[in-house]
Every structure is written in C-alpha cells, then in structure tokens.
A and B are shown apart, each in its own frame.
Chain A
C-alpha cells in the first residue's frame, strides 16, 4: 500500500560522489536497517528521501508516484516522517507543542480562523491537542507534555523526536540513529518501542550503528559503503557476508 522505493539513486556534491546507484525498497510491514561505516552515505539517503537533497540520477517513489522535486513538507504530508541523528527539536517549545507542530500538515485552520476563534478552529485545535497527547503517551512521555524540550533528559529528547514524527500520522517512518547515546536498558526499551510502531502498521527504515538493535529487530538490512550498496538481505545473511565484514573490519581480518 505504501511502498517506498529507491531506484538507482546517485547523488553528487561537486566532485564528491555521495551515493552511487542505490536501490532498495521498504515494503508494507517492513523494518529495514540501513547500516554502514561512518561516511557511507546513510544520512544522505534519508535526506534524499525527505526532499532535503535532490538526486543527480535515479528516483525515489512512494506508492508508485515519484517524490522528485517535492518540497519536504509535501513529502511529510504524503506520509514519510523522519527523526534526526543530532536531535533537532524545537528547543524552546514544550514537548506538547513540538508534537503539535507535526500536526500542521494534517490540519487546515488559517489566520482568520485563529483570530476569530471560529468553532471549526476550536474543534481542530482540540483535535490536534488530543492527537498530540496520544503520540506523547505512546512514547511514554505523557507526563512531560508541559516540559520545555531543552530541559528534558537526552533519552527523553530522543523519544520526543519519535513522538513528533509519529504525530504527523505517517505510513513510513525514517529513524536516524535512534539508539545513539542510549544506555543498554534504554536501547532494549527502544527496540520494544520500534516493534510497537511496526505493529501500528507503520513501515520503518532505520539507520543504526548499534548492531544489537539492528540485528534484533530489522527484518531486512541494506549495507552501504562509500555510497555504494555492498549487500542486502536478512540479518543472518548480512552477518556472514564477507564484503560487509571487510567494510567494517578491513582486509587484515581475513
């Protein structure tokens, strides 16, 4: 229903070839892991999908329709939400407000409605608040609604990012290193959460360095190295793949 498909994506920044012919799919019900050493181009893939970068060749399509030349907010409206590797919350806004922003593309009220406080606007505002609280509670942040984002603990900020992405009612969610900086207990909790998100019927594409997390929950793994896809397959296959081992550990290992 909502397959995200990348076909032969290439991205060049001047003389730097960031991605070369990357193709893979995120199908319904999938949890896909995107792994690779630092600088392999994983975040670039996210930026291409969400419309931050334009591709030099190839195309991204969602639900069969190409995403090329769509601005990022349109792509979110289509149902692809993301989180950020280095947390990018709206620091001075409260947790609830952060999440409420994500409902922007799902709601209509304009300036006149806001100034006149029309009944439709009030209803919508109540709806936004309710949806946002649901997203916060889903991530276990119900008690932090009034907390200013910058005052929250690091682990909570990570969860808030996911809550914000979920509040946009996505069909596919891109998680950029969700476990970065989390302790083992928090990582386990995160894996459980990702499972619950998947149970909601949301497809997941995640970049992650923590192999325990990746191997634990991903059903499909894509490996990038220097912008090239070097392997793709089930976790067990990836773990045995000699090219992957070489990319991570170097030649001497063998």
Chain B
C-alpha cells in the first residue's frame, strides 16, 4: 500500500469515528439508558457503503477502469460538440417549451411544487443582485417579500385593488423599504452589514406581528383575491379569477421570465459593471467614478423590487398571509440558494432553487433525515465547489458576450 493510499484509509477511519461520535448520542442516549444496537447498525451500513465507494475510487486510481475511460471520453466529447453546435437560443427555447408544457404533463402536486420553485427563483434572483452582484451580504432579505405580500394583501382586502395594479405598487413599496433599510447600512461592510440586515429583517417581521390595527397581527390577513383577467366568452368580455393552480403557474412563470430577463440585462449593463466594481473593491470603484453610496442603495432597491413582486404573487396564491411566512429561516434559505447555485450566476440561482425546493419534495420519504442531509450536502458543496453549482461565467468571455 502506498503512502497516499494509507493516508486515504486513515482519513476514512477518522471520518467514520467522527460520524459515530455524531450519530450515537442522537440515537443511543435515551431516557431509559444507553443503547448501542441501533446506532451501530446504521453506522455499519454507512461505513460499509463508504468503504465500497472508497475501494472503487482506489481501483480507479489504480487503473482498473481504464478500459472505460475511452468510451466515456468519446461520449462526453460528442455531447460537448453537440452542445456547441446547438445555438443558445434553441437551447433556451427548449427550456421554455418544457416550462410551458409542464402543467399539461403533470398533476396538481407537481404544479404546487413548481409554483414554489418559481417564487423562490424570483427571490433568489433578487437577492442575487444584492449579494452576487453588489457583494452586500443581506440576511434580512425576506422582509421585502413580506412587504410585497402585505402590500397586496391589505390593498386587496380593504380597497379591492386588482393584482395587476398592485404588482407595481408593491414593487415600489418594497423598493422604498429597501432604500430605508439600505440607507443606514451604506457605510458598513462585511460582518457588520450582515448583522444589521439581520436585525432589520426581524424588525419588519415583528412590526407586522404587532401592528394589530393594520396587519391583524399573528392572525394574518384573510380573503386576498386571486389575480383577475378578462376573458372573451359568448360574444363579450367576462371577468374571471385566475385561481386554478395551472393559471397561477403560468402567471408566476411569466413573472419569473421577466425577472430573469431583467436581471440578465442589468448584469450586462453599465449599472451591472458598477455593481461588480463595488463588490471587487469599493474604494477603487469610488475613485474610478462610481457613486458607491448611490449604487449600493440602488442594489438594495432592485433586490427589494423582485422580493416585492414575489411577495405579491405569494399573497395572491395563498389568499392568506401571516408573519410566520417571513422568518429568518426563509432569508437563510434564499441566501443558501444563491450561494449553493453560484453567486452572480442566473442559471446557478435557478439550479439552487430547484435543488433546495424541489429535491426535498422528491425525497419526501426520508423526511426525518432531510435537514441532516441538507447540512451535509451544503458542507460537501462548499468544500468541493465553493463557487456553486453553476459558477458565474467570468473566464474572459463575459464582456464579449453578445445576445
């Protein structure tokens, strides 16, 4: 056994010991006394599986699978060549067609999950403007989601304003909230900024929770209208409510597409470059003519606009909002999507939302271990792919890129 291999097996031993130390207290320490059987049986299964994987890895290093290399390489090269030949718009069209056909091919439950994913995609892209582009860590982002949701909820319940009218109103309110929250933090950087935004996120939630006269406090707001539309029927236009899941799916799909286009274009514009300059080196950006305070405020406002749009839709879909939907864990979730997917990368954020919302639904069977696996996967990802699932494209081609 070579030194390298023995080191590997030593690492395996340490990891398994660590795993046992983590596992046994959770399963083995009970009120009735200590118990080993269950934790050891689980531990053994994991250990054997890991040993097999490690063994396969060793054999691969040893060259046992070399006969497989050629065909796989050829296959991946062929796939690359195919991808290069297919123009980008065609690939995008294929994705769009899949997204459009999705409700016809699936049933209710899948629609529900898809709507959640799309809401989180908008949230993730909004936060991506703040965190990914401008480099401002925001731990209270969900507050804007809340502002948007409550704006529509209250306007709909008290004034019966339509969803489509409230969409821009809620976006404006969120942008204003973004500026209010952003303004005091403009001169802060790094850790301090994170703590302050965390505080602001909580303030918004607690205000919503306690402002009984306006928001009805923890009881929430009931009776929010669905989006309406005029539909041509029997020779005249008739007002209908778009409240089936399929209709809602198409609405949120449209909003998500608009968000993607908007964020993409913003990214490759003068403003996007200035955001990036601020993220890279704030002092140098200021000295190179970027009004950093204004740009940072703009980043908060832009992020908040998308948060508000997502919030408006959320309220319309649920027909009910309460402060519980806007807790810190939601902010953390959206931030996790951005980091997991790849900061500053639009496809990355989409993948991140899919991974964090859709995958847990697929693996509902393992519900008990969901958070455990979630934490483990995040740790592994950050070790092996710190730039995310689909890192932002930057290796030279970025500014040369055309539509």
Contact = CB atoms under 8 A, between A and B. Distances in A.
A111 B303 CA distance: 12
Interface stretch (B210-218, B263-271, B322-330, B347-355): B263-271
Contact of B276 (A77, A90, A146, A148): A90
B280 A114 contact: no
A147 interface: yes
A137 B394 CA distance: 22
Contact of B270 (A50, A73, A88, A128): A128
A139 B195 CA distance: 44
A117 interface: yes
A141 interface: no
Interface residues of B, number: 34
A53 to B, nearest CB: 12
A63 interface: no
A94 to B, nearest CB: 5
A186 to B, nearest CB: 23
A76 B287 CA distance: 7
B390 to A, nearest CB: 16
A107 interface: yes
A65 interface: no
A73 B274 CA distance: 12
A228 B265 CA distance: 51
A27 B272 CA distance: 37
Given A52-B283, A146-B397, A104 B273 contact: yes
Contacts of A159: none
B286 A71 contact: yes
Interface stretch (B288-296, B311-319, B361-369): B288-296
Interface in B186-205: none
Given A111-B266, A146-B400, A82 B277 contact: no
B394 A72 contact: no
Given A90-B280, A111-B302, A73 B272 contact: no
Interface in B353-403: 394-400
B155 interface: no
A168 B302 contact: no
Interface in B224-271: 261-262, 265-266, 269-271
B380 to A, nearest CB: 25
Nearest to A47: B287
Contact of A115 (B262, B277, B291, B394): B262
Given A52-B287, A93-B398, A101-B285, 10 more contacts: A52-B283, A71-B291, A73-B289, A73-B290, A73-B292, A88-B283, A92-B276, A101-B276, A101-B277, A109-B271
Contacts of B83: none
A84 interface: yes
15 contacts: A73-B286, A73-B288, A73-B289, A77-B289, A82-B287, A90-B276, A97-B273, A109-B269, A111-B302, A114-B266, A114-B271, A128-B270, A147-B396, A164-B288, A168-B289
Interface string A83-101: 0100011111110110011
B265 A125 contact: no
Chain B contact surface mostly: helix
A29 to B, nearest CB: 24
Interface of B: 261-262, 265-266, 269-274, 276-277, 280-281, 283-293, 298, 302, 394-400
Contact of A146 (B265, B287, B302, B399): B399
Contact of A100 (B273, B283, B302): B273
A14 interface: no
Interface string A131-163: 000000000000001111000000000000000
Most chain B beta-carbon neighbours within 10 Å: one of A89, A97, A148, A164 = A97
Chain A contact residues (Cβ within 8 angstroms of B): what range? 35 or more
A104 B280 contact: no
Nearest to B261: A115
Most buried by B among A72, A84, A91, A102: A72
Contacts of B289: 73, 76-77, 101-102, 104-106, 168
A194 to B, nearest CB: 20
Contact of B281 (A81, A88, A102): A88
A124 interface: yes
A15 B169 CA distance: 53
Interface in A107-125: 107, 109-111, 113-115, 117, 121, 124-125
Contacts of A168: 288-289
Contacts of A111: 266, 271, 298, 302
User: Interface centre among A84, A102, A115, A121, by most B CB within 10 Å?
Assistant: A115
A96 B399 contact: yes
Contacts of B397: 146
Nearest to B403: A117
Contacts of B266: 111, 114-115
Contact of A92 (B280, B287, B293): B280
A201 to B, nearest CB: 20
Given A77-B289, A111-B266, A146-B396, A93 B272 contact: no
A147 B287 CA distance: 23
